[in-house]
Amino acid sequence: MGHPSVHPTGVTIYNPEKCFNGYTIFPANEHGATLIDMNGGVVSFWKDLQGFPSKLLKGGYVMGSLGERTMLCGFQDQLDLVQVDWDGNIVWKFDRLEYIEDPGEEPQWMARQHHDYQREGNPVGYYVPGMECQTDSGNTLILCHRNLYNHKITDKKLHDDTIVEVDWQGNIVWEWALNEHFDELGFNNAAKSALFRDPNMTAAGADWMHVNSMSTLGPNKFYDAGDERFHPDNIIIDGRETNIIAIIAKETGKIVWKLGPNYDENEQIRKIGVIIGQHHAHMIPAGLPGAGNILIFDNGGWAGYDNPSQITATGNKAVRRDYSRVLEIDPTTMEIVWQFSPAEMGHGMPFHASHFYSPFISSAQRLPNGNTLITEGSDGRLIEVTSEHEVVWEYISPYWGSEGGIPINMIYRAYRYPYDYVPQLAKPEEVAIERIDNKDYRLPGAKGKEPQRTVEVAGTKGYGESAGFCVQKE
């Protein structure tokens, strides 16, 4: 489906009575961390503070990254992970993963952070009642990169995903490397062969798994009932390129729960359907509706490894789907307990499936009132939906940058927080914005849909009665 050349930006729908009202933070493409109110007004903007992702901490603090390594040497590597105060002063920084000497650049220490991090006190980084990220102490889990070789996976240099835990002083106190757990991921022989041939190469190396989210589980009912797989300290990740979601035991490093890469293992998994290129898989924290379930933005698009076929010459990006879903899954029964897709939006399937579709980036946050804030990232759209699938808030980013020289207003990930997270500001006015009927919406100067004259054409016939065929009657 094509998109209109002209369309509104900012907030287009807002029902204050049904929303979880507060501030929303997101990384405005090529601009910086941006904090908006419910009517889309920018209440603060931190220039050049990148968001991979941007997070708001109570007291008006913001976390994000400063500077990106040249793509020729480190695909998506961020230089520094920082916490700044309301006025932009750096109050905490981590940059000591590796000392890097890139050709043509000044040698420097780098965090090599990418896609996610979590500060102690909150398992997921978005608002959870009673779980506040620490702002002047505590450890931080950080998703990073390291380059290395593992010939069990491929003979090419890996751009491998690594998780480190650092204390407040920036000392690494725990580390986990993905490549060391290759045998636990469940790849069949076809996938292993495809990975060896074509492990998603970038200029920096083989981005074979492309982990794009990482969070702890936090307190949950399954662990309370005795299931050790769901220990609160355990870590859930998802790999975009492999269609895998996995839980890591913090104590042993072993993978103790997994969904994917094979979605035909049993009848319950087949009912879920293939999850493709997913983002932001996490356990909904205790204290929120749906607590304990796994929330996933199932992008669709292209991902996975398998035999070469008509859609992939090498076996890379072997499965495809041209629409997105948000899934909430019980991790013990593997049942879908809630979902949001083009069908729930009221779009005809499959003809209008692309009305909800982001083949890359994106996220979903469970809100305290049971709504879900969804980042449909590739076209810069944020929507808040109720459990009954009603869209009660919609925002289209007006911030356009470029990706590979192509204009785009994408949003990597957005989060909603209560007003009291920012004591520096008075609560803003909330003005309802009713949904406009697109059939009647016109720009100034454009004329309406009613014709100035109507002519009936003699002899016009309708469709025949023959099972939907058009029949010309003489």
Question: Phi and psi at residue 452, in whole multiples of 5°?
Answer: -75, -25
- Interatomic CA distance for residues 16 and 434, integer angstroms: 10
- pLDDT at residue 322, rounded to an integer: 95
Distance of CA 473 to the CA centre of its chain: 55
- Interatomic CA distance for residues 346 and 149, integer angstroms: 48
Q: For the segment 340-383, what is each residue's pLDDT rounded down to a tens digit?
A: 999 999 888 887 888 899 999 999 999 999 999 999 999 999 99
- pLDDT at residue 350, rounded to an integer: 80
Q: Assign 3-class secondary structure to 50-92.
A: EEEEEEEECCCEEEEEEEECCCCCCCCCEEEEEEECCCCCEEE
- Interatomic CA distance for residues 114 and 69, integer angstroms: 11
Tokens of 190: 């076809």
Cβ atoms within 10 Å of 226's Cβ, excluding its own = 7
- pLDDT at residue 351, rounded to an integer: 78
- pLDDT at residue 474, rounded to an integer: 39
| CB of 115 closer than 8 Å to CB of 406 | no
Residue 458, C-beta contacts closer than 8 angstroms, at least 6 positions apart: none
- pLDDT at residue 468, rounded to an integer: 45
CATH class, domain 16-421, is mainly beta
Give me the residue spans of the domains in the chain.
16-421
Residue with tokens 């459990």: 387
pTM, to two decimals: 0.95
Residue 309: enclosing H or E segment and its boundaries?
Answer: none
- pLDDT at residue 31, rounded to an integer: 87
Q: Give the chain's residues under pLDDT 70.
A: 1-2, 460-474
- Interatomic CA distance for residues 371 and 389, integer angstroms: 9
Q: For the segment 307-346, what is each residue's pLDDT rounded down to a tens digit?
A: 999 999 999 999 999 999 999 999 999 999 999 999 999 8
